[in-house]
Amino acid sequence: LLYGALRQEYSAGASVLLSAVVFAMCHPPLSFVAVCSLGIACAVARERTAGLAVPMAVHAFYNLIVVSVGALS
């Protein structure tokens, strides 16, 4: 949702990076790089598909991996 608002004012590249950084800042500091990467992937998916279904699926898959790895530890 943030990406869409930013995209109305800024280029795709700037919107992707800014929304990903803000998204990562809302998560624990140790996960910044991973979550920022996730934010970039979701914003690029949003730009390419113009919908939310693919970014939501990417986020759900990421969460599945994080929970699965956590369960194995």
- 35 has a pLDDT exceeding 90: yes
pLDDT in tens, 36-50: 999 999 999 999 999
44-47: long-range pairs with CB below 8 Å, 24+: 44/16, 46/3, 46/4, 47/3, 47/7, 47/12, 47/15, 47/16
Residue 46, pLDDT score: 97
pLDDT of res. 5: 96
36 φ, ψ to 5°?
Answer: -65, -40
- The predicted pLDDT at position 73 comes to 86
